Structure formats: C-alpha cells, structure tokens
Amino acid sequence: MANLQTNLAGIKSPNPFWLASAPPTNSGYQIMKAFDAGWGGAVWKTLGVPVVNISSRYGALNYRDNRMVGFNNIELITDRPLADNLREIEEVKKRFPDHAVIASLMVETREQWHQIVKDAENAGADGLELNFGCPHGM
Amino acid sequence: MECERGMGSAVGQEPKVLMTIVSWVKEVAKVPVIVKLTPNITDITRPARAAQEGGGDAISLINTIQSLIGVDIDNFVTYPVVDGKSSNGGYCGPAVKPIAMNMLKNCAQLPDLKIPISGIGGIENWRDAVEFILLGATSVQVCTAVMHYGFGIIREMVSGLERYMDDKGFENLDQMRGRALPNVMHWEDLNLKYKVVANINEDKCIGCQLCYTACEDGAHQAISLSDDPLNRKPTIIEENCVGCNLCSLVCPVESCIEMQRRDDGKEHLTWKDRTLAGNIPVTFNDPLAGGLHHWVPEPAEALTKQTPLHYKL
C-alpha cells in the first residue's frame, strides 16, 4: 500500500488531506471529529483581534440540478475568544500528537504578530499559516 | 472592516508589505510558517516570491476570490442578505478549482521558488487531490466540500488516493508530486503538426444531435445530418473538422465521440520553431493559416440550411 505520509516544510501529517482555515475548523470539537474520521491535518480558523460576525453569511451558486457548485461567504475570522482557541489547540494536540495542527493568524502590527506567534506556538501548533486574504472573504 | 486597518488582502496584494510581515513573523517563529496567498491579484508569482524572500517556509493557495454570488431579483439585493443589504464575499467551491490549479502551476513551475506549496481550491474528492499533487502540491486543503458533505468524505479521499498510487506504482507522494508540470507549456511550444478529428461511434450514438447543433452554430460546420428523417445519427465531415473537441464535450454519452489522431506523429513543429526560423506566415495563403485547407460555407447558405429535427418550428 502506498505511503501517504506528508511533510510540508517540516509540518508532518499522516496523509496530505488538511482542513482549510474556515468554518469547519472553528472549534476543537470539529477538528477532533475530523481527525477521528481520518483527516491528516487542520488549519485552525484564523486567530486575530476580536471581531463581530453577522447574519446571514453564506451564499451558493446552484447550477441546474447541482447545488453549491460555487460558494460565497462574508464571514470574518474567528469570533471566539483567543484563550478558548488556544486551550482547544492544546487539547487537540494532546489527543492527536501525530496530526498536523496549523494556526492561521491575522493581526496588524509587528508587536501583535510577535505575540500571537508565541501564543500559537505555546499552545502546541505544528505550524503557522499567515492569512493575507481579507477577513470577509477576499 | 479589517482591510481598512491594513490587514488581509490589502496586504496580500502588496508583495513588499507581505514580505515585511512574513519577516516579522520569522523573527520569532520556531515552527514552520506557511504564507496563504490571495488570488485577487494579476500575477500570483509576485506574492509567492515575496513570501519566500520574507523567509516563509511554504505557501498555500488559493484563498477565496472576490465575488457576488447572485442577485435577489425581486428585492434588488445581492446574496447573502443582511437586513436588506449585502456585500461582496469570497468565492470558493468546485467552480474555482480550475483557477486555483492554474495559479498552483504558475507557482510550482517557478525555478527560483524552492518552498513547498499547500494546494487549496474546490477539492472535493481523491481525484481532485491527485490533480493538485500532480501540479506540485505537497498537501491539499479542503473546506467547501466538508461544509456540504461533512468530515466523512475523507474515507473515500484517502482510499482513492492510495488506490491511484498503487495503480500507478507510486510508493510515496514525493514520487508523484509535480508529474504534470513539465507537460504544461506555453502555447508557442505546442506541436502544430498534431492533428485530431472527431469520430462518432454509431453504436453508442443516441441521436440527440447536440453535437450537430454545437458544431454548426458554435464551431466549424463539420457535422452533417442524414436526409433520412428516421436516421437521427449525425456524421462527421472530416475535411471540415479542425479537431476542436467541442462535439465530444457536449456529447452526453461516455466515449461516443472520440478524437482520433490523423498525423503520423513523425513531424514536430512549434510556433516558436517557426518564429526562430523566420518562418511565421506573412500571407493568409499559409497551410497553417485560416484561409487555406479550411472550408467555410457561403454566408447565404445560412438561410437555406435544413432545420435541425429537434428545433421547434
């Protein structure tokens, strides 16, 4: 059987399939469930400064009989407290040490970047992903 | 709101600022740093290079594409609706996969880009993942498919990838990564002598005539219908066929219309070869120009053409 072991710049995962930083990676609950199902890694929904999300958030492009061939969202980065996310990163890493947990980050100043990098690393993140897309989907 | 504060894609669209921020992160980071690129830029290779120059250990692409997903035509507002108003959003899902793969290829083919790439954009099954890996991705990231079908899709993705690799004799991902990259070239490097024509398998044809209409109105008038009204199966007019693929693309039956090779495979001549040899056409009387060896009907024939049988009269 083929070996699916993946190593991206030192970030190791049992297979190349990672969840992208997005609504499915909003919580430790979701990521533990995904790892249990067989996903190899997950990029946590972007951590940053406090934001407020609105309602509604998603739109879909349906084409004839097919729903959601295209998808559109105006949801921002995580609206959960940073401390909660960090605690859950730690919990997930403890339970799934061989799976890749990557923290997606988006802040503004040099000092903020330095602080959040240290926070994510202290929580046990295997890697960092810098989000240079607009928070509401650009 | 955040863009105005100097974060997000305002940063991602400006390679120098991106490079600066990556270097800030690398001043303190102990774990590998992936730089996620926005596709909302003319040339994705510029921020890709900036990510590497700033010290980034990898890049990931693509983030979502600026979009309006649709308009509520009764209430005059785009989706998704927030109290009667809306805003542009980020586009993702199966529809963006071709755009993502082109940007992945553009980065993966850069000789001076040494850092690995995590591929993102419309990946939904093992085959999509294989395509991204063959175009140079080291890992792949998935979102929309999980939002649609849940985490369970991973079982089929893993087993499908394993089976594909076993079939192809790949023992690990390193052996398959980027295998399609050398075959994606500039147009000017393609063989002008390669010649295919369409062939309709009569046993499989269901007589829908979609190919006839598509070729007649959208391509090169290279398919004819029978004079016998009971025979709905079209015929290729091979001397008119330029080998464009359109009929095979619209045909609803698997392997009914196939493109068959007609050149002998011995000649190889590219537009670049011709340019370097000073041999580009200067008149339209060139075997490879449109005016020769390519029949088109007279304009007035359009008004005498037989009406396809499925047109409503």
Is B205 in the same domain as B142? no
Residues of A in contact with B129 (CB under 8 A): 16-17
Q: What is the pLDDT of residues A32-81, one digit of tens each?
A: 999 999 999 999 999 999 999 999 999 999 999 999 999 999 999 999 99
What's the CATH number where A83 sits?
3.40.50.2300
Q: Residue A92: inside a domain, yes or no?
A: yes
Please give the tally of structural domains in chain A: 1
Is the residue at A61 inside a domain?
no
Residue B194 and residue B176 share a domain: no
pLDDT value at residue B307: 64
What's residue B5's pLDDT? 41
- B34 and B77 in a single domain? The answer is yes
A34 residue type, one letter: A
> Do residues B150 and B216 share a domain?
no
Phi-psi region of B122 (alpha: psi -120 to 50; beta: other; left: phi over 0): left
Residue A134 annotated among the catalytic residues of the structure: yes
Query: Is residue B233 domain-resident?
Result: yes
Q: Are residue B242 and residue B284 in the same domain, yes or no?
A: yes
Asked, for residue B312, whether it belongs to a domain, the answer is no
Dump pLDDT digits (tens) for B5-49. 445 567 889 999 999 999 999 999 999 999 999 999 999 999 999
In a domain, A66, yes or no: no
DSSP conformation class of A23: G
| Sequence-ordered list of residues with C-beta below 8 angstroms from that of B146, at least 6 positions apart, any chain | A19, A24, A34, B153
Q: Residue A124 is encoded by which pair of tokens?
A: 């046990």
Q: Do A132 and B11 touch (CB under 8 A)?
A: yes
* Residue B79 in contact with partner chain A when CB distance is under 8 A: yes
Q: Domain limits at B264?
A: 187-303
Same domain, B112 and B84: yes
- Total domains in the fold of chain B: 2
In a domain, B224, yes or no: yes
Task: Say whether both B16 and B151 belong to one domain.
Answer: yes
CB contact under 8 A, A73 and B2: no
Q: Which two tokens stand for residue A6?
A: 């993946």
Claim to verify: residue B62 and residue B156 sit in the same structural domain = yes
Of B130, B153, B183, the last residue of a domain is: B183
Domain hosting residue A37, numbered range: 20-50+77-130
Q: What is the per-residue pLDDT for B8?
A: 58
User: Do B17 and B140 fall within a single domain?
Assistant: yes
Per-residue pLDDT reduced to its tens digit, B109-158: 999 999 999 999 999 999 999 999 999 999 999 999 999 999 999 999 99
The answer to whether residues B194 and B256 belong to one domain is yes
Chain B nearest CA to A91, separation (Å): 18
Question: 3-state secondary structure string, B76-121?
Answer: CEECCCECCECCCEEEECHHHHHHHHHHHHHHHCCCCCCCCEEEEC
Q: Is residue A104 part of a domain?
A: yes
Catalytic residue among A20, A68, A69, A134: A134
Q: Does some domain include residue B309?
A: no
Does B82 have pLDDT greater than 80?
yes
Residues of A in contact with B161 (CB under 8 A): 2, 4, 15-16
A99/chain B closest Cα distance in angstroms: 13
Q: What is the pLDDT of residue B252?
A: 98
CATH code of residue B294: 3.30.70.20
**Does B287 lie in the same domain as B154?**
no
The pLDDT tens digits for B66-77 are 999 999 999 999
Residue A63 domain-assigned (yes or no): no
CA atoms within 13 A on the CB side of B106: 19
Q: Respond yes or no on whether ipTM tops 0.85.
A: yes
Q: Does B37 touch chain A (CB under 8 A)?
A: yes
Domain boundary among B138, B156, B183: B183
Q: Is residue B308 part of a domain?
A: no
CA distance B8 to A132: 4
Of B12 and A85, the one with more pLDDT: A85
Residue of A46, A132, A136 to mutate for B, most B C-beta atoms under 10 A: A132
